[in-house]
Structure 1
Amino acid sequence: MCTGNCAKCLGITLIPLAILSVLCNILLCFPGGKVASSTDHITDEVFYLGGILGSGVLMIFPALVFLGLKNNDCCGCCGNESCGKRCAMFTSIIFAAIGFVGAGYCFIISAVAINKGPKCENGFNATYSYPFHDGNYLSNHTIWSQCSEPKDVIPWNLTLFSLLLIMSGVQAVLCAIQAINGLIGTICGDCCGCCGGS
């Protein structure tokens, strides 16, 4: 597969992942699927915007660059017909690094949020706090009763942060693949040789 075609496939895959990440982050603003009466009732990690900034905005730019690589003009500069394509592939490595950082940010935020558990009303003292520590609620569902409000906030947060964790992990892998693909394209050029075929 040509390096340009490979980059285009990666870009096509990254765009829906970025959109879904933004959507998951927005849904986390509604704990348990309900409108929070106060921002203090929303888990702090939601406001770090891992899905919106990290796996969303910072991923859209690399995805658009990857999509455009196939159509980039590779018909020469400085007497070298593959120079333009090589320069474009080198630029894609930089954007892949930006995407990798964004995905890594979202991955870390999601992992911390899953381990910490959601902020909820503690059944014992009726105040909003983090009743779980070090992920102890993940294997012990009997202690979920410590969260009395909002209802179903634990599976809600766990599902959405897990989706963000998985999607950001996939995005990081795809950006790493494009970095390698871009390096190959920089060194070898695009194997499809758009000028040679015309």
Structure 2
Amino acid sequence: MCYGKCARCLGIALIPLALTSIILNTLLFFPNGETGYNTPEKLAHTVWCFGGILGSGLLMVFPILVFMGMENNDCCGCCGNESCGKRFANFSSIIFAGIGVAGATYCFIISAVALNEGPKCHASTNDTYIYPFADGDYLSDHSMWDKCVKPPNIVTWHVTLFALLLVTSGVQLILCGIQVVNGLIGFICGECSCCSCCGSGNPPHYFILSFS
């Protein structure tokens, strides 16, 4: 199994997911495509946690770069030891996969809380912006959505975007988890097949010089 190629595939798969998360979180600031409601007083606090922008977006850049660069890592960087370089690369990928897991988990939790709490809106029974849904029952009872008057269609907007963020971060969590396992196996096995000094069967130059 080529652990570097597997990591690269995972990195490529994470790119559209990270971009999608950033876009979804950005859209949450503009309910129904309108710009007059993007203030802390009118939007749910979960929107301002930036789960999609920070957690599933910017934090995911680090594992993406590491995963995509693993295939071209120099495996002969540790005193000519043919497996040391790849072991280190796989170990480092585990660390950065952990960063990806943390970011995706953060977004996943924020999205789950947002769906449970519901949006903040100008309710028909109140003159201020409040959370009219207390325990998530509104998800199964669409007749309750009429409680929100402003922003227009805020419940649909809120539920749709946070549900998509929940799914996106869940997929990221799975992909980063796969790389944790992949990197751990690569670290244990010490895969190395990329360098001439290691793969050619010839001893390293410093070893030849020591006997010249």
Same fold (TM over 0.5): yes
Q: Which residue of 1 aligns with 2:31?
A: 31
Measure the CA separation in 1 of the matches of 2:180 and 2:92: 10
Code of the aligned partner of 1:24:
L
Query: TM-score normalized by structure 2?
Result: 0.89
Instruction: Please list, as runs of the form range in 1=range in 2, the aligned pairs for 1:152-167 lying within 5 A after superposition.
Output: 152-167=153-168
Separation in structure 1 between the aligned mates of residue 38 and residue 186 of structure 2, nearest angstrom:
51
Counterpart residue number, 1:50: 51
CA contact (8 A) 2:87 2:191 kept: yes
In 2, the alpha carbon distance for the partners of 1:36 and 1:111 equals: 26
Partner of 2:208: none
1:133-188 CA-to-partner distances (Å, cap 9, x unmatched) read: 11110001111110011111111111110111001011011111000100111111
Report the Cα distance in structure 2 between the residues aligned to 1:148 and 1:118, rounded to whole angstroms.
Answer: 12
**Correspondence for 1:61:** 62
Partner of 1:90: 91
Runs of at least 5 residues in structure 1 that lack an aligned partner in the other structure: none
Offset, 1:32? 2.4
TM-score by length of 1: 0.95
**Residue in 1 aligned with 2:121?**
120
Deviations 1:60-92 (A, max 9, x none): 110110000001111242231121111011000
State the Cα deviation string for residues 6-47 of structure 1 (Å, max 9, x = none): 000000001110111011110000122211345011111011
* Alpha-carbon distance in structure 2 between the residues aligned to 1:185 and 1:112: 36
Q: Distance in 2 between matches of 1:95 and 1:28?
A: 28
In structure 1, the partner of 2:81 is 80
**Overall identity of the aligned pairs, in %:** 62
Question: What is the 5 A alignment of 1:98-109?
Answer: 98-109=99-110
**Structure 2: unaligned runs, 5 residues or longer:** 201-212
SS of the residue corresponding to residue 125 of structure 2 reads coil
User: Are 1:150 and 2:148 an aligned pair?
Assistant: no
One-letter amino acid matched to 1:25: N
Q: Distance in 1 between matches of 2:38 and 2:7?
A: 44
What corresponds to 2:169 in structure 1?
168
- 1:183 corresponds in structure 2 to 184
> How far is 1:93 from its partner?
0.3
What is residue 6 of structure 2 aligned with on the other side? Answer: 6
SS at the partner of 2:122? strand
- Paired with 2:118 and 2:138, the residues of 1 have a C-alpha distance of 8
> Please, which moves more after superposition, 72-81 or 173-182?
72-81
Contact persistence 1:43–1:118 (CA under 8 A): yes
